[in-house]
Structure 1
Amino acid sequence: MSYEILPPAREGRVPFSEGQTWYRITGNLESGVTPLVVAHGGPGATHQYLLSLTAFADPDGPARPVIHYDQLGCGNSTHLPGADPSYWTVDLFLAELDNLLGHLGVADDYHLLGQSWGGMLAAEHAVRRPAGLKRLVISNSPASMPLWSEAAAGLRADLPPGVDTTLRIHEDARTTDSPEYAAAMKVFYDRHVCRVVPNPPEVAAAFASIEKNPTVYHTMNGPSEFHVVGSLRSWSVVDRLPRIDVPVLVISGAYDEAQPVCVAPYAELIPGARWEVFEKSSHLPNVEEPDRYVAVVESFLRGGR
């Protein structure tokens, strides 16, 4: 790794729904440079594993303001463990993003980068054609959860002997909270989620946050990245992708759990979209190939294709 996590210029909270959304701003929103808003994955992870993206705000580099936030239900935002499962919807998180953009005064001029679930959310945001969105980065995200599950089945089949069998035994028995399941799950994660092992501290912190408060993750996704049994299991944005009318950069890793079959619709159906594959990365090229990641994204945000 060769990145430094820059300190925030400002942190705060904005009222939303049944609680508050926490945000972190790195750099100067008054600089005149279009800010980059970062939507994290999960659903139910935290901003922490994307803190390498504060590099965009480096005054000796891009000097681009960066806005991280924790989505409702996780991280530094309000946790609602007692909420009815029906509360956690795509529309909720779309409304939260709109609320944050308005509160920070950037709704008329912003770039959006969504990673994993954040990219799914970003695509849903973009198909609505918000007037202030200038450029969109969809990083390591599926366009369809059925396609994601199809890809995951293939990756699981290629795991070392016995690993997938262990996973399936516990999934069938609904004992996915067992240490044995966690150990088998780690084999998959070390191959297809983050190949920097041990994980960087901010990545480990995000995983720990999900483990401590799995409400949103378990409700919308499931017990693991590859066993999707939550409310998102049939989600797809494929049929709506041609509506996106801003420049789009699609990113994936060569070892990514977001395999080409579930990423390709973004590149094929969004007019003019560019697809960049990071050959040394899996699901987190922002920490696996950080210098190249920042260079590729910043070039795109400055008008490159």
Structure 2
Amino acid sequence: MHSLLRGVLLLVTAAAYAQVPQPHTGLVHTPDVDLATFTYGKPSTTTPIIAVNGGPGLSHVYMIQNDVWTRRIAEHRQVIFYDQRGTGGSQHLRPGATQTMEAQVNDLEAVRASLHVEKVDFIGDSYGGLLASAYAAAHPEHVHTLILSDSAAPGFSKLHPRLEEVFPDVIAKTKEQIDKLHGHANSDAEAADLDLRAHFRMIFYSQELCDRYLANAPDLGFAPATGEAVSKAFANVDLSSQMAHYHFPTLVIQGRFDLNVTPDISWTVAHSIPGAQLVWFEKSGHLPYYEEPDKYASVVNQFLLDHDATHD
């Protein structure tokens, strides 16, 4: 009986794995780094999406812990992820390479140019929203639409002090948990991973979904040194005044219970961009595509469909 059950479980596991979309991988060569890319969906005449993940210091992996991007949205158009310089598959930087906003924007432009299309739909998640916004300010001619998903504040340095003002008890409790976890870490890398997981436990609306997410994501591709370097480089970046000049369709998505990017930030961003659409996710924290996947896929697909364009 036990061997039969084991055999059934193996078959179920194999079937589930076979259903996981596998990306087409590639490298985009730049003077500083070879950027690893991960493309989901088949080539088509529909405008492709470039997904810009958050962090900073995370790879794209945290965004693909369900099938919202890799299947439900990639069913209609290609979705291209890339690992930002210093993370994931893009860790080998030229000695002396910087983490400035200009360097990050140039990397994103290199990924866009590799697609051989003039305009792209951009999705920026968390810190990735700030980077996507910086790209949009520098290269508006290449932006077909912009989606900002629980995006960092346009002034990066304003984000975390704001969190401590709005949620002082939560932030203090999280810091206390992190301090306790440090006592159980055997290395700096393990301590950084424990920090990250404690932070993730703060940014979910559903504790059950948080537990499932963390159990199924053993490695989030965190590079703490890169995250620190990017945070320092972006400390004085402020795009607030530039958003009034965005003239492409923009969708702003916000989890109502996001303790990582407070809802007032997304409200302000949406009202700073002409014609921007703001959609609230009432049962989500920082990752609404994981906590409310059906609604998220529907909202994004409809927005893109409403503004669909084809290219030669």
State the TM bucket, normalised to the shorter chain.
0.7 to 0.9
Cα distance in 2 for residues equivalent to 1:78 and 1:41: 16
Structure 2 residue 17 is matched with structure 1 residue 7: no
Structure 1 equivalent of residue 213 of structure 2: 200
Code of the aligned partner of 2:61: Q
Q: How does 1:21-170 map to 2 (within 5 A)?
A: 21-29=35-43, 31-51=44-64, 52=67, 53-57=69-73, 59=75, 63-80=76-93, 83-84=95-96, 87-106=98-117, 108-141=118-151, 142-154=153-165, 156-159=167-170, 163-164=174-175
- Indicate conservation of the 8 Å contact 1:34/1:110, yes or no: yes
Structure with more helix by fraction: 2
Larger radius of gyration: 2
The answer (yes or no) to whether the contact 2:251–2:277 under 8 Å persists in 1 is: yes
User: Could you say which residue in structure 2 is the equivalent of 1:17?
Assistant: 31
| TM superposition score normalised by structure 2 | 0.78
Q: 1:184 to 1:154 in 2, by over 3 A?
A: farther
SS at match of 2:210: coil
Pair 1:40–1:186, CA change in 2 (3 A): closer
Q: Which residue of 2 aligns with 1:227?
A: none
Instruction: Specify the SS of the correspondent of 1:281.
Output: coil
Report the TM-score when normalising by structure 1: 0.79
Partners of 1:152 and 1:203 in 2: CA distance: 28
1:269 counterpart residue number: 272
Residue 260 of structure 1: how far off its partner (Å): 2.4
How far did 1:220 drift?
A: 2.0
Tell me the alpha carbon deviations over residues 262-305 of structure 1, each in whole angstroms, 9 at most, x when there is no partner. Answer: 2233211100011111111111111111111111011111117x
Give the structure 2 partner of residue 289 of structure 1. Answer: 292
Q: Percent identity?
A: 26
Distance 1:55 1:178, change over 3 A: closer
For 2:201, the equivalent position in structure 1 comes to: 190
Structure 1 regions of 5+ residues with no counterpart? 171-175, 222-229
Q: Contact (CA 8 Å) 1:48, 1:203: kept in 2 or not? A: no
1:199-278 counterparts in 2 under 5 A?
Answer: 199-200=212-213, 204-205=217-218, 207=220, 209-210=221-222, 213-221=223-231, 230-256=232-258, 257-278=260-281
In 2, the alpha carbon distance for the partners of 1:235 and 1:276 equals 26
Aligned residues: 278
Stretch of structure 1 that moved more, 147-156 or 16-25: 147-156
Cα RMSD for the two superposed structures = 3.1
CA gap 1:206/1:113 in 2 versus in 1, 3 angstroms = farther
Q: Which one-letter code corresponds to 1:146 in the other structure? A: S
